Structure 1
Amino acid sequence: MSGRVYLIGAGPGDEGLITVKGLNCVKEANVIVYDRLIPQALLRYAPSTAEFIFVGKSPEKHTLTQEEINDLLIEQAEQGKIIARLKGGDPFVFGRGGEEVIALKEHNIPFEVVPGITSAVAAPMYAGIPVTHRGLSSSFAVITGHEDPDKAESSISWQDLALESGTLCFLMGVGNLSRIVDNLLAHGKDSETPIALVRWGTRPYQKTLTGTLSNIVEKAKSENFKSPAVIIIGEVVNLREQLAWFEKKPFFNKNILVTRARSQASELSYKISQLGGQPVEFPTIKIEKPDTYQPLDEAIKKLAEYNWLVFTSVNGVKHFFNRLENLDYDCRQLAGLKTCAIGSKTKESLEEKGIKADVVPQEYRAEALIDLMKEQVKSGDRVLIPRAKEAREVLPEALREQGLKVDVITAYETVKDTKDTEKVRKMLKQNELDAITFTSSSTVKNFVEVLELNVGLNEPGAVLANTHIACIGPITASTCQQYGIEVNSIANEYTIPGLVESLIDNLDENVEEEFK
């Protein structure tokens, strides 16, 4: 039985620019065949069982020839697999997607083509350059900057392009910039015509170089400006000073390390991306099941014996209610219990389960909860705290001192995650990380241990001296200090939004008011 091929335009680089349909196709696929310039973050959306096949091409090296890529798609589809063929930009805008479709059709392979946003429009837009603008340009042309080298002669009408009053967008042309400029000038284009080069358009490390036809070649040479880049020629380039927006975001051109567990990193990573930064996910902890659920199950069966149920994290809520459902119970089992939640997210997680917390401290840490509960508990009350295997003992010890009977039950474990260790070591060594975010004491401890920063002379404080350290709260900051790590910012509100706000306030002194 034949499979199916989805030819998907993955967009120009910002992962958010893929279409909803394109993303749904990725989620459905058994095999992901992808190019060099696609947003790598899109691969996370594929099923965990999917096979990944890289077929990228660069100016210096082709992993596979186009004919070999065609054969690969046919071979995989004939095995009955669903293939998501991810191509940068749009499949049919200099993407050779048409050639792949013809090959599939010749072998009767079912296919669909999903359009993508082309860099010819997106890169200029992210640089503050509209390809059309009333009074300046009523048309735009998209031209290859890299013709087939085997052609006997160019099929580009340089005379017509030189006379064109609209915008010219050349793709894949930085290596041939001098030839493009010379051809336009030779055919009568004004040497003072504005031109812009946008490298890695729509990505956090986007770089824009502007000039005129008379000086851009020398400027690009001086800046060592390389591919991949889009070339924009026309009067619309002069609008950049007024319309530039992306490069003014507070985290633009900044790499920010996210140490949260992979399953929880998306919220922080998304906020960093929205503010123009590059989230570098390095989950130092993994959330896993405990060795046994027996103690938790036994406690759930005897909930009627407790007076208080205290949740210190979203994970505690999640794993507690998973076991509740596993035992064929529901929230009615909590009738008569008073509930406490540390943190707004923990409170919201409880509300999603139909439970409104009776006690939520304004300050999201154990000490604040202790002060709040003093007024409501009485000696002899029984308290159940389902939480991580390893956690601070401040809360249970303080409650016991008040005469309460406290049962601390392991609902989940946090263990080290060692993936991408070498990549992060390299980035630290080359000072490529602008900030590191810590969202718990566990992330700090595991970060130090996984990277072996406490071994020999590589003390954490020295290794991280040039990197901004941001903590979600004072407890996490205190753990950093125990390892000799200087903390540069602490969130006022101990939440992910609070952490992001503290980064905005401290990472960029020139951030515009709209981002605060």
Structure 2
Amino acid sequence: MGNQGCVYLVGAGPGDIGLVTAKGYRYLQQAEVVLYDRLVNPLLLEYASPQAEYIYCGKMPKKHILRQEAINDLLVQRGLEGKKVVRLKGGDPSVFGRVGEEAEALEQAGVPYEIVPGITAGIGAAAYAGVPVTHREHSLSFAVITGHDKSPSGEPLIDWHALANGVDTIAFYMGVGNLPHISERLISHGRASDTPVLLIQWGTTGKQRTLQGSLATIVEKAKTAQFKNPAIILAGDVSGIKKGASWFESKPLFSQHVLFGRASEESSTIGQHLRDQGAEVFEFPRMQLQKKLLKATDIPTDKDLLFLSPASVDVFFASLQANKIDIRHIQGEFYGVSSKTIKALASYHCVGKEVTERDSHASSLVILGDSEGIDREKQRYAIGFGDDFIATHTYNRVPQTLETFSRLQEEERIETIIFPNARSVQTVTEGFQACGESPESISAYAHVICFGEKSKQAAVKAGYSIATVLSEPSEEALFEALVQKEFPLAAALS
């Protein structure tokens, strides 16, 4: 019996990648095909399978990349091929997401499907702006309305009298273009002209922007502020609750967009900590580890072993298992170049020592690590000793990460680039070049921060203009620099 395909119609939430449901996240990781919309945060795609097929269905006003009929056909086709397909939609797929049409096409074709709800923008964006859509003192009812529809004018054809007089809080989706019409209709059908209105653009993301007014004033204010979609119009007394910056907007790194240089497949704990403080972090480029299991004859049993990364530790022990070699046959000492590597050794119940503890006059040792991009002679020279180098793995760049970079760049969501080490300069620069960018072109609009002297030298050599070098290579120093936004162009450094 062949594999049966299934299509998962998944809500990605309003923007913050942490707002996707656990079920949606699990299906995304398992997906063989991912079809995604323009309003899906491209950072979410970094968590899908590296082997997945990605199809952009990016709809823009009056400019559709893929027509709905073509999307329906693709879902059916891939489902009939036996694939696990995720149709990733911004917000909730059942709220103006045309999920009904897609589900109907799948049902008619006999393709199994599931609908995985998501947080809709009217609720999520309002919450991140500090406004609950219902409140015992201000709002006992809530409605979501499309801000434009299929009518000839694009102005929503609804029962304005019932809406103006029967609902406390009204959320209009993508309605900024029709804001004059919406305000006029609500007032003319009985809603007080001083009813508070809140506009929320790019809600729940680092680009979130809000504008407050009333039905009588919001049109002129939006015009002056050049407010555009994607945005939610929240009309009702509850909108007046917002006083100053919300809990989200008050985070110390709110509105900061950071590209954190990656040198391996592992995500950075620093990156997550920056997210917790409000920054939007893109760890670039995404890498996939390719193991190089050792043959029995290549496994050194009588020399000290120096591991350059946790991955090299994992591959070494996997090689022992694959060749059925008992750990008791390994006579040498274990050393690691970092605390992470030593912890990896400890996870296999082996004691790892700092490489600085080793006597430089001791017998030669074998170095195990990543073969790609390492200047072996310099690596050995920096360590001070070592004869043999064994490549345990290599890293391959995941193609989708380049599309993520391009999307974020188009949306002007790359402002600061952080190089935590010299190796990250190489991997990031190769990624930029694959996107048609150069260190010089990137430096024209992004601040470049280096953790220390070695990463600074590597970045300068590559062609970057350095904004700052941290006072010390630590998370605390990075956080302080980002909070203060002190990026003096360091011509003297370069």
TM-score tier, shorter chain, comes to 0.7 to 0.9
The answer to whether structure 1 residue 346 and structure 2 residue 327 are counterparts is no
Please name the residue that 2:313 is paired with: 317
Please name the residue that 1:127 is paired with: 129
The answer to whether structure 1 residue 508 and structure 2 residue 483 are counterparts is yes
Distance change >3 Å, CA 251–CA 127, structure 1 → 2: same
User: Helix, strand or coil: the match of 1:170?
Assistant: strand
Whichever residue aligns with residue 216 of structure 2, its letter is S
The answer to whether structure 1 residue 327 and structure 2 residue 323 are counterparts is yes
Whichever residue aligns with residue 66 of structure 1, its letter is Q
User: Helix, strand or coil: the match of 2:59?
Assistant: coil
The answer to whether structure 1 residue 223 and structure 2 residue 218 are counterparts is no
Whichever residue aligns with residue 312 of structure 1, its letter is L
Cα-Cα RMSD: 3.9
Please name the residue that 1:444 is paired with: 425
Contact kept? 1:9, 1:117, Cα under 8 Å: yes
The answer to whether structure 1 residue 10 and structure 2 residue 12 are counterparts is yes
Contact kept? 1:258, 1:268, Cα under 8 Å: no
Contact kept? 1:145, 1:174, Cα under 8 Å: yes
User: Helix, strand or coil: the match of 1:177?
Assistant: helix
Alignment: residue pair count: 479
Alignment deviations for residues 147-189 of structure 1 (CA, whole Å, 9 cap, x no partner): 3315999652222332346221111211111111001111222
Deviates more, 1:391-400 or 1:239-248: 391-400
User: Helix, strand or coil: the match of 2:158?
Assistant: coil
Question: Which residues in structure 2 correspond to 1:95-110 (within 5 Å)?
Answer: 95-110=97-112
Please give the alpha-carbon distance, in whole angstroms, between the structure 1 residues aligned to 2:70 and 2:405: 34
Contact kept? 1:285, 1:416, Cα under 8 Å: yes
Among 471, 475, 481, which residue is 2:454 paired with? Answer: 475
The answer to whether structure 1 residue 19 and structure 2 residue 14 are counterparts is no
Whichever residue aligns with residue 346 of structure 1, its letter is T
Identity %: 37
- Superposition deviation, residue 395 in structure 1: 7.7
Please name the residue that 2:443 is paired with: 464
- Superposition deviation, residue 271 in structure 1: 4.0
Task: List gaps (5 residues or longer) in structure 2.
Answer: 487-494
Please name the residue that 1:488 is paired with: 468
- Superposition deviation, residue 193 in structure 1: 1.6
Deviates more, 1:247-256 or 1:474-483: 474-483
User: Helix, strand or coil: the match of 2:58?
Assistant: coil
- Superposition deviation, residue 244 in structure 1: 0.5
Contact kept? 2:133, 2:169, Cα under 8 Å: yes
- Superposition deviation, residue 93 in structure 1: 1.4
Contact kept? 1:38, 1:87, Cα under 8 Å: yes
Whichever residue aligns with residue 37 of structure 1, its letter is L
Please give the alpha-carbon distance, in whole angstroms, between the structure 2 residues aligned to 1:398 and 1:75: 55
Please give the alpha-carbon distance, in whole angstroms, between the structure 2 residues aligned to 1:142 and 1:356: 60
Among 195, 199, 205, which residue is 1:193 paired with? Answer: 195
Please give the alpha-carbon distance, in whole angstroms, between the structure 2 residues aligned to 1:12 and 1:321: 43
- Superposition deviation, residue 483 in structure 1: 5.6
Please give the alpha-carbon distance, in whole angstroms, between the structure 2 residues aligned to 1:183 and 1:413: 62
User: Helix, strand or coil: the match of 1:507?
Assistant: helix
User: Helix, strand or coil: the match of 1:263?
Assistant: coil
- Return the TM-score normalized by structure 2: 0.82
Among 58, 61, 64, which residue is 2:60 paired with? Answer: 58
User: Helix, strand or coil: the match of 2:205?
Assistant: coil
Among 52, 76, 83, which residue is 1:81 paired with? Answer: 83
Task: List gaps (5 residues or longer) in structure 1.
Answer: 361-368, 453-457, 512-516
Distance change >3 Å, CA 66–CA 329, structure 1 → 2: same
Distance change >3 Å, CA 116–CA 418, structure 1 → 2: closer
Whichever residue aligns with residue 508 of structure 1, its letter is V
- Superposition deviation, residue 60 in structure 1: 1.5
- Superposition deviation, residue 467 in structure 1: 4.0
Deviates more, 1:54-63 or 1:385-394: 385-394
Alignment deviations for residues 218-256 of structure 1 (CA, whole Å, 9 cap, x no partner): 111112211111111122223322670222233332222
Please give the alpha-carbon distance, in whole angstroms, between the structure 1 residues aligned to 2:431 and 2:121: 39
- Return the TM-score normalized by structure 1: 0.79
Whichever residue aligns with residue 386 of structure 1, its letter is L
Please name the residue that 1:28 is paired with: 30
Contact kept? 2:7, 2:79, Cα under 8 Å: yes
User: Helix, strand or coil: the match of 1:179?
Assistant: helix
- Superposition deviation, residue 263 in structure 1: 1.7
Contact kept? 1:284, 1:450, Cα under 8 Å: no
Whichever residue aligns with residue 238 of structure 1, its letter is G
Please name the residue that 1:363 is paired with: none
Distance change >3 Å, CA 332–CA 431, structure 1 → 2: same
Query: Which protein is bigger by CA-based radius of gyration?
Result: 1
Question: Which residues in structure 2 correspond to 1:115-514 (within 5 Å)?
Answer: 115-149=117-151, 155-164=157-166, 166-241=168-243, 244-261=246-263, 263-265=265-267, 267=269, 269-283=271-285, 298=297, 300=299, 302-303=300-301, 305-306=302-303, 308-329=304-325, 331-334=327-330, 337-357=332-352, 359-360=353-354, 369-370=355-356, 372-373=357-358, 377=359, 379-389=361-371, 390-391=374-375, 396-397=380-381, 406-412=387-393, 433-445=414-426, 447=428, 464=443, 467-480=446-459, 485-486=465-466, 488-490=468-470, 492=472, 498-499=474-475, 501-509=476-484
